[in-house]
Amino acid sequence: MNPEPTKIVQELKPYVPGEQPRDMKYIKLNTNENPYPPAPGVFEAVKTAGLDRMRLYPDPLCKKLRGILSQKHGVETDRIFVGNGSDEVLRLLFQAYLSPGEILAITDPTYSLYPVLAATFGAGIESVPLEEEGQLPQIPDPSRFRVMVIASPNPPLGAVYSEEELEVLIKAAPSTLFIIDEAYVDFAESDCMDLSKRHENVAVCRTFSKSYSLAGIRVGYAVGCRGIIENLYKIKDSYNVNYLSQVAACAAVKAEEYYRQTASRIREDREFLAGELREMGLRVYPSQGNFIFAEGEDGRKIYEGLKAAGILVRYFDLPRLRRGVRITIGTRKEIEELLKALAGL
């Protein structure tokens, strides 16, 4: 007889990531990966990293990477935490600040991992429905939440939120931890990093998976006050970021000009694709991510038709999202293949 897991694990509905099929070659526009390779300097750094060092444990505090990020963001290194992808950073923030029965506030819709992570710690969830095109509504008494997480740009619709509107919430609830998840911020027109410098109840999360083209190396980080960062270091795994990942991430931050160019190309192609889809009669939500959400009559039909044509997009079987699909911005060639397939549905 197998031992029973905890009640929380028994009742947990796991996060479902985007498909990674192996049965045929697909154009993958379903997991918001960057269609362009990492900067040449990243390949060179990994190639010359000194692989004999792999027998040794990596730096448990990621000091070199934190130093480079400190210069990038203009904050002290002890206000930066580096994790094994931003998903680990989020999990540790929830672990540090959510107790069983306390409430995590999320928007609806948003990144579907948030409620799964909160549920693993026995926390409750309160969803705040977004307005028609993804804008934040008025939120009465945000202080009733222990933690609130807001992605900006917010998947899957792509809405971005200003410092000013988020600061109203932050000031109204000084004992609430506000996590601003900026995974897609390098494709947007603005960011909220300065809020982490002005307020002790704010943590801003970033990732190397999207604009840096490094989803496979699993590096993310948080910027916040010293108290928040110290609490994350108390509970992290001893060596949570491997040696080669640290090397690659350091090189990526140093290659900012390359990544500015690829992000600019993605923004241009995002606007091109949005315009073409609107010409086809689809509703396209305004997005500042490296993805768009396009609505027709039946999202599942669009998803299945594209998959049959060898193109993967993301379908969410949720009341507010069933009419559409989320489409990652690929290369111009991939976008043209997508449009050709859509025209044939």
All structural domains of the chain, each given as residue ranges with its CATH number in brackets, are: 7-37+257-343 (3.90.1150.10), 40-255 (3.40.640.10)
Please report the pLDDT score of residue 16 as a whole number. 80
Query: H/E element holding 284?
Result: strand 283-284
d(CA 164, CA 195): 10
Please report the pLDDT score of residue 22 as a whole number. 77
Q: What is the pTM of this model?
A: 0.95
H runs (alpha helix) in 50-188: 63-73, 85-97, 113-119, 163-172
**181, β-bridge pairs:** 151, 205
d(CA 15, CA 85): 16
Please report the pLDDT score of residue 327 as a whole number. 98
Please report the pLDDT score of residue 197 as a whole number. 97
Cβ–Cβ contacts within 10 Å for residue 319, how many? 9
d(CA 304, CA 322): 13
Please report the pLDDT score of residue 4 as a whole number. 85
Q: Tell me the pLDDT of the chain (345 aa) as tens digits.
A: 788 888 888 888 888 888 887 777 899 999 999 999 999 999 999 999 988 899 999 999 999 999 999 999 999 999 999 999 999 999 999 999 999 999 999 999 999 999 999 999 999 999 999 999 999 999 999 999 999 999 999 999 999 999 999 999 999 999 999 999 999 999 999 999 999 999 999 999 999 999 999 999 999 999 999 999 999 999 999 999 999 999 999 999 999 999 999 999 999 999 999 999 999 999 999 999 999 999 999 999 999 999 999 999 999 999 999 999 999 999 999 999 999 999 998
Can you read off the two tokens belonging to residue 273? 């694709």
Cis check: omega of the bond before 156, within 30 degrees of 0: yes
Cis check: omega of the bond before 5, within 30 degrees of 0: no
CA distances (Å), origin 272, targets 235, 266, 313: 45, 10, 17
d(CA 191, CA 185): 6
d(CA 77, CA 230): 12
Dihedrals φ, ψ of 7, to 5°? -60, -35
